Amino acid sequence: MAVALVKVITQYTFRVYNTKGGETLVKNMRDKLFGRIERLPFSWHMKNKTGDIIQRCTSDVDTVRNFISEQMTGIFRIVIMLVLSLTFMIAMNPVLTLVALAPVPFIVLYSLFFHKAVRSRFQVCDENEGKLSAMVQENLTGVRVVRAFGREKSELDKFSAHNKYYTSLWVGVSKVLARFWSVMDCVTAFQIMGIVVFGCYMCIKGKMLPGEYVSFISYNSMLIWPIRQLGRMISEMSKASVSIDRIQYIMDSEEEHDAPGSTEADMTGDIAFNNVTFAYENCPEILKDISFKVKSGTTLGILGGTGSGKSTLMFLLDKLYDLPEGNGSITVGGRDIRTIKTRYLRENIGMVLQEPYLFSRTISENIGITRPDMTLSEIREAARDACLDDTVTSFSQGYDTKVGERGVTLSGGQKQRTAIARMLTQNTPIMILDDSLSAVDTQTDAKIRKALEKRFGKVTVIIISHRITTLQRCDNIVVLDKGSVAEMGSHDELKDAGGIYSLIYQSQSGLGEEAV
């Protein structure tokens, strides 16, 4: 009864602390992974699919946890049982102990071979699980596009085909595991048979007492159990090692870092692009020897066709992509942005991206995300300047309205205005609107621009747009064509120059049709 009581207490303690340790491990791993992902450069996120990243942070972390909490802890029990059983068996009969240990070299070698074979299969399965997760994530995110074009069946067929392939991979792994466990069972069966036969022979010859023989078989069971567990441990270890490698890929990826000696700087000076040339990884040059200056407190408009490099210029200014050495320079107030702390630079550049992203939170939380201490009156002031306040107050829940995932419950124009209001709360000396007025009508466009002028006065504003009416009030306009500066000047200068800007102006104003 005392031994049983001790067993109950120790098992309870083990279960509680093992579970607590496993969950603490998972929490710490996820915290570190998420923190690492948050600090990785924008280019890394462009190369890695969201679904695969999520799978690494969830499924792979759970695989590691299961191995450590369930299999690794069993190693201590196995070692203790091996030492005790071998000690008693050697003390009883060293010769019969050698018979019991005879299959061990074969088991070890076969296990090592199996580990190498099954590990590569687990890696393929894990990678394809990531692809499957990415496919699901993309379809759920783009469900409106799928429905709008009636592509449900097509997407389902693609998913089913990949899911079938993924299932076949795991079936293949199961066959390998079945072969391994079957061989291990046969080996252990022959080992037991050897003990029975040789033990009987020794008893008949008087070299071993019947009681010792029965005890020896019992201790041999203690020896066989860890050997039979070896297959499962090898399998789990193979899965865990693949998951560890996939997690380690994230942890080994290089974080964003500032150049040595980087400091804060005055962000109210002129912005200058000096002979900037840039290409994305494994792609042709998208910017070719770009040079222009944005005077402090002025508004610059950028016009150009799709793929001309308009957004790329702003990504480089905000250091979302690093401009390589020897590819020109970007300066603010005469200071190369490479020598300015990245966090400080971004805190002083307000940006509304071409595709505004809203979190699945309330409108007020989305607008006030840049400053946790922001009051509702400050949020509403920014919303009024973005011509959003009247729209939001017409909602039944007002600023407490949930916008849904990626702002799905709002229209394109409402999302853009929400993103603009969010940017306005930063009060930054530099503001960038990357084609962020395309989904609003021309009257609202004009109101927003007037509100910006009235509220901020002489801040540096960069507006990217395809709409001439949005750019015509800018102090200076840069026209890009195939990655180069094709024209530069004011609206009045460019519209009469007979170049690209003039042609677009005539097309959008209807003058081109009249001329025809």
What is the SS3 assignment for 480?
strand
Note whether 130 and 17 are same-domain residues: yes
DSSP 169-221: HHHHHHHHHHHHHHHHHHHHHHHHHHHHHHHHHHHHTTSS-HHHHHHHHHHHH
Q: Which of 512, 439, 477 is nearest to 304 (CA)?
A: 477
| Choice among 157-171, 191-205, 393-407, 451-465 with the minimum mean pLDDT | 451-465
pLDDT digits (tens, 9 = 90+) for 7-63: 999 989 988 998 898 889 889 999 999 999 988 988 888 888 888 888 888 888 988
Distance between CA atoms of residues 19 and 429, nearest Å = 51
Q: Does residue 440 form part of some domain?
A: no
Note whether 293 and 372 are same-domain residues: no
Torsion region of 398: left, alpha or beta (phi above 0 gives left; psi -120 to 50 gives alpha) = left
Q: What is the CATH number of the domain that holds 137?
A: 1.20.1560.10
Q: Which of 200, 224, 252 is the last residue of a domain?
A: 252
Q: Which of 252, 276, 309 is the last residue of a domain?
A: 252
Note whether 140 and 68 are same-domain residues: yes
Q: For residue 300, list its beta bridge partners.
A: 462, 476
Note whether 234 and 275 are same-domain residues: no
Number of structural domains found in the chain: 3
Residue 420 in this model has a pLDDT that exceeds 80:
yes
Note whether 6 and 81 are same-domain residues: yes
Q: Which of 194, 224, 252 is the last residue of a domain?
A: 252
Structural domain boundaries, residue 375:
350-427
Beta-strand pair 329-332/271-279 = antiparallel
Note whether 291 and 156 are same-domain residues: no
Distance between CA atoms of residues 76 and 14, nearest Å = 13
Q: What is the CATH number of the domain that holds 406?
A: 3.40.50.300
**What is the predicted pLDDT for the residue at 230?**
67
Note whether 242 and 269 are same-domain residues: no
Residues 6+ apart with CB under 8 A from 36: 250, 251, 253, 255
Contact, 134 vs 166, CB < 8 A? no
Q: Does residue 497 form part of some domain?
A: no
Note whether 366 and 309 are same-domain residues: no
Q: Does residue 507 form part of some domain?
A: no
- 80-97 burial: b if 16+ Cβ within 10 Å, else e: ebeeebbebbeebbeebb
Note whether 163 and 76 are same-domain residues: yes
pLDDT digits (tens, 9 = 90+) for 212-245: 888 888 888 887 777 777 666 777 777 888 889 8
pLDDT digits (tens, 9 = 90+) for 334-381: 899 999 999 999 889 988 887 778 888 888 888 888 777 888 888 888
Note whether 181 and 293 are same-domain residues: no
What's the one-letter identity of residue 424?
L
Take residue 194 and report the two structure tokens written for it. Answer: 């050897």
| Choice among 52-56, 71-75, 136-140, 157-161 with the minimum mean pLDDT | 71-75
Q: Does residue 476 form part of some domain?
A: yes
Distance between CA atoms of residues 471 and 480, nearest Å = 14
Query: What would the mean pLDDT of 107-129 be, rounded to a whole number?
Result: 80
Q: Does residue 475 form part of some domain?
A: yes
**What is the predicted pLDDT for the residue at 512?**
47
Torsion of CA 66, 70, 76, 77, to 10 degrees: -170
Note whether 272 and 232 are same-domain residues: no
Query: Whole-structure pTM over 0.85, yes or no?
Result: no
**What is the predicted pLDDT for the residue at 513?**
43
